[in-house]
Amino acid sequence: MPSTYINAIKTLDGTSIADVYEVPQGKTAILKTISAYNTNASTASSLIVHIYDSSADATTEFEKTASIGAETRQAYLENGEVIVLESKDKLRMTAGASNYFDIFVSILEVL
C-alpha cells in the first residue's frame, strides 16, 4: 500500500471557516501533527479546529483555543494522537483575527 508524507501549510487570511487540507479522492490521510503560530507581535487571538466528514456532510469542532498569545505556537495532536480522515474529508479552522495564524500540518497519505 503506497504512502506519502506531505505537509500542508496555510495562512488564515480571514475570520470565516477555512479549509486547511482536503484528503484527495480515493486516499486516506493520517494527520500526525497540527500546529498554529500566531505571527502577530502584540495581540493574542482565538482559533477553532474543525473536522469535515464528507460522508455525513457535517463539520464538527475538534478543539477550541480561547487565546493563543502573540508570537506563540500552539500544538495539537500531542502524545501520539492522530486524526484519520477518509477521502474528501477536510481539516478546517476558524481564526479570531485575519492574518494572525500560520498553520502547519504533517500528513501521511495512504492509497
Domains annotated on the chain, with CATH? 3-110 (2.60.120.340)
Burial (CB count <10 Å: 0-12, 13-18, 19+), residue 9: exposed
Report yes or no on whether pTM surpasses 0.75.
yes
* Separation of alpha carbons 31 and 51, rounded Å: 11
pLDDT in tens, 19-70: 999 999 999 999 999 999 999 999 999 999 999 999 999 999 999 999 999 9
**Closest CA relative to residue 32, chosen from 84, 73, 68:** 84
In whole angstroms, what separates CA 17 from the centre of its chain? 11
